A and B are shown apart, each in its own frame.
Chain A
């Protein structure tokens, strides 16, 4: 193979490489907005599924004697929905949204305080022999 031939080959390879690079760039450009839209949702879904597993294993470890307090606690913590209600009350411009937020804050607070307090009352009653 003479040097001229090698030079021609090299040139054509580099041309093809450039073409491929251009293709890759175009693909990446089309994919970027799709990925950007899908990524947060997939991330949240991953977190959600992981949390389901954590919940599954942790709850099977709860002693059956404490299943009522478990309901009390889960009741209280499910009212963490208050976070959404606070955001609506504090950040919304529309008065309708502010009002909905305020009602939701009030309802969730009944649960938060009621849930934790009633659980505390229940747990305080569980005593060991002789204590």
Chain B
């Protein structure tokens, strides 16, 4: 295929990718959007395979790689549980990073295939772009491996901190810069691999101080990096499609990181410096600091069922704890029974519910909760005032009014769901432990709050049983 034709094909693919993202503005158009993305990718691959100079041997090799990788990818995508989605995405990011490293290496050892010079005599500008793509790709790889290990529980979610950590990272960053400059000046293969090694180490060191609960930000950030890595490679080999797609993905990941940070009222710097939170979040002992307060009111599932049976408007507030207990299905059953009793049910989702952006929406959709019953914080917050019941399951910090009133609180300024304004608030919790921010929730002690102690799934099941009576 002539050069012009393949460039044209890449242009079509870029437009299709933009349309794929555009489709996600609404669940109804999203499925078609995904299809556009697939078609775009198909066109890009076909156009590349049809370029002049592609030997039969090369094409066979490429098809073999596509078949092997495609089979593995399809199997992974079909088998993964939706609760493990964040791990899968982190693992996928690491692969993009590694692919970027290998493409950079291929361009370094065979620059003539990409028209950027000859082995040992590559254009300086291309070397700059190559080292950028290489470094970002390598950081994406090792950073994503750590994020995967933390999310998958293969490694403790608690932050790993040591003295002089940030100084070490800054020094390594400066060293990386020096290596890049030397590499551009000399084009030495040893420096190429040193840049790769140093970037691997840097990616690893950048992510280990970040706590398990901050992983939503990290996953979004690595999503962004994988885009910038693709764009860097695009500049290296002068490919328009890689540049456009890299920019789209980079922007997308950056926006998601911003949304996640805003949902926690933390700056990205604060998240990156790390040291916040642990994996389980039950750091504070049960009942800590409760001595001088009114006793909490604990209720039985039967009490809750009775109150909800007579309620008109019920808002369910699910948190990650619900997903851990695998309670989403039974929550939906409870909602169905209450709808039969004439109640209006909606779900309120905090931006940082779940372990990646939008995770909770997927988990609820999987349990057959219609998406038009699920609302974001800004949409639903005003409605708590008219609600008879707020059913908080597996969430804590995101409902804590201290975020609005207590300037000394670790979560001060974080947007919260105003469950306190509902007539009755149910908290389904295992015990009195505080959330991952380690802050007491004064809501537990309010007269309109009833605590339902126990496993999220079991408690909800018992409510379902009493509703069926």
Contact = CB atoms under 8 A, between A and B. Distances in A.
B371 A92 contact: no
A70 B37 CA distance: 11
A115 B89 CA distance: 8
B365 A127 contact: yes
Given A58-B21, A70-B21, A85-B102, A80 B13 contact: yes
Interface residues of A, number: 84
A86 B51 CA distance: 10
A85 B18 CA distance: 22
A106 B106 contact: no
Q: Which of A63, A65, A100, A117 has its CB near the most chain B CB atoms (within 10 A)?
A: A65
B231 A123 contact: no
A102 B99 CA distance: 10
A106 B255 contact: no
Nearest to B28: A128
Q: Report whether over half of chain A's contact residues are helix, strand or loop; otherwise say mixed.
A: helix
Contacts of A10: none
B59 to A, nearest CB: 6
Q: Which secondary structure dominates where chain B touches chain A?
A: helix
Contacts of A84: 103, 106-107, 114, 233-234, 236-237, 239, 242
B106 A47 contact: no
A130 B235 contact: no
Contact of A92 (B18, B106, B250, B366): B106
B273 interface: no
Interface in B23-51: 24-28, 30-31, 33-34, 37-38, 40-41, 44-45, 48-49, 51
A98 B103 CA distance: 10
A52 interface: yes
B248 A77 contact: yes
A72 B65 contact: no
A64 B213 CA distance: 20
Given A61-B22, A78-B246, A90-B51, A68 B85 contact: yes
B243 interface: yes
Contact of A83 (B55, B78, B227, B239): B239
Give the contact-size bracket for chain B.
Answer: 35 or more
B230 A81 contact: yes
A107 B226 CA distance: 13
B54 interface: yes
A104 B106 contact: yes
Contacts of A116: 34, 37-38, 41, 77
Contact of B106 (A70, A85, A130): A85
Interface in A40-94: 40-41, 44, 47-49, 51-52, 54-56, 58-94
8 contacts: A54-B18, A71-B356, A78-B249, A82-B99, A94-B110, A115-B92, A128-B370, A128-B371
Given A67-B357, A73-B37, A129-B370, 11 more contacts: A48-B243, A52-B247, A59-B252, A64-B376, A84-B107, A93-B112, A106-B68, A109-B69, A112-B73, A115-B92, A117-B73
Which 6 A-B pairs rank lowest in CB-CB distance, beginning with the nearest?
A109-B69, A67-B358, A55-B251, A114-B73, A90-B58, A105-B65
